[in-house]
Chain A
Amino acid sequence: MNITIKYFSWIRVKLKKSHDLIELDERMSFKELKNNLISKDPIFQEIFKDNSVKYFLNLKELNDDDLILNNGDVLAFLPPVTGG
């Protein structure tokens, strides 16, 4: 199954990309996906340690690490906003 992850602000700058299309062999929780990402790039450790970063799943804030992701889901990693 495929998951899209969108990156913004300093996360996008640090990763040098605005998004990822992740192919997974099996369904997994957000927590498992986090571990999967850390194993591929240690930068994610820094991202996930930052309590100010918010996570959105299909445009809704995600607060449950145990939530199981589905094919076609769009995740977004959002640092604190600074518009206006």
Chain B
Amino acid sequence: MIKIVKESFDLENEFQKISSNKNGAYSFFLGTVRSDLSFSNTEIKGIFLECYEELALSQLEKIRLQALKKWDLSECIIIHRVGRLNLGEKIVLVITSSSHRSNSIEACEYVIDSLKIDVAFWKFHILDNEEKEIVYQKSKDSEKMLKWREIIN
């Protein structure tokens, strides 16, 4: 299941959607808005997430299907929020389920790492005066993805 939403989500509700006696393991990744400094060294107030929704949905589905197949998952949920988010708010949730823990843990990491590099979302810092400052991609994220490309291909 994949969702791109403005509103927040409930972890227990999402877990119940894929809870099954067939699973022995669930892995969760929850990304939240952390306090950070702008380029001018001032505390940010929050973030704004822009999205090309049609493309992002197809990219997320591709990543989800790769994870399901590669790690033999029973399910994989990806929820990503868009719009304005304050400090501490939830941004993204990944839940993977499988018979054994190693599969769900590794798949969960793959999904969030891929999402950061291959899905059409863009982050902006919201500054004190409500102006938006573009957040640039980190080279460590793209370098990490090289490892996954060897594993998945």
Chain B interface mostly helix, strand, loop or mixed? mixed
Asked, given contacts A59-B55, A79-B122, A83-B122, whether A9 binds B92 with beta carbons under 8 Å apart, the answer is no
* Chain B residues within 8 Å of A9, by CB: 50, 122, 134
Taking residues whose C-beta sits less than 8 angstroms from the other chain, chain B's interface range is 20 to 34
- A83: contacting residue among B54, B121, B132, B142, CB under 8 A: B121
A83 to B115, CA, bound (A): 7
| 4 additional contacts (CB under 8 A) given A8-B120, A9-B50, A78-B52 | A12-B50, A79-B122, A81-B116, A84-B119
**A81 lies within 8 A of B55 (CB):** no
Q: Which residues of B contact A (CB under 8 A)?
A: 31, 49-52, 54-56, 58, 80, 91-92, 112, 115-123, 132, 134-137, 142
